[in-house]
Amino acid sequence: MKRITSVIIAAVTLVLCFTLSACGNKYVSRYNAMLMVRTNTSNKASVSFDSFSGTYVMQLKNNSADEVYIDYEGTLGEGNIKVYYDFNDEKLNLFDIETDGSVDGKTETFTGNKTIYIIIESDGKCSDGSFSFVLAKSEN
């Protein structure tokens, strides 16, 4: 009886540990890359790579009640990449970029003290990419 109780308690403890540890990350990075350089602070994020395949997630944080937007730019030498953002629990397409492509622009305005996720997903192997995202205060 003691042995069965101990096994049940151990199993419940393991399940709780795995369940609680998964709650912190909404999106998960899973990728293979060569010569990847990345930075991520609360208001700036960038990534550059020689080769990349998979999903890479960055977080920007609006630490005030001010209206903000994301100013972004990117280049890609070869491959296909889709970049998404999530602000209010909805994953929205920010831009798509293909071989020898470049993009620059800005997002809609965000309001609220929240985390904004940037999700970079490749469609197979990509090379010579560089992306940057800067959280800026709206002028309105």
CATH number at 104 reads 2.60.120.260
The answer to the question of residue 53 being in a domain is yes
Place of tokens 């970079």: 120
Percentage of the chain exceeding pLDDT 70? 83
The answer to the question of residue 56 being in a domain is yes
The answer to the question of residue 18 being in a domain is no
pTM exceeding 0.85 = no
How many structural domains compose the chain? 1
CA distance readout (Å), 10 to 7, 14, 34:
5, 6, 40
The answer to the question of residue 80 being in a domain is yes
The answer to the question of residue 74 being in a domain is yes
Summarize the confidence of residues 37-57 as an average pLDDT.
Answer: 93
Query: Which structural domain range is residue 67 located in?
Result: 27-137
State residue 19's pLDDT score: 46
Residues 65-93 have pLDDT tens digits of: 788 889 999 999 999 999 999 987 889 99
The answer to the question of residue 40 being in a domain is yes
The answer to the question of residue 19 being in a domain is no
Residues 9-38 have pLDDT tens digits of: 666 665 555 544 444 568 899 999 999 998
State residue 140's pLDDT score: 60
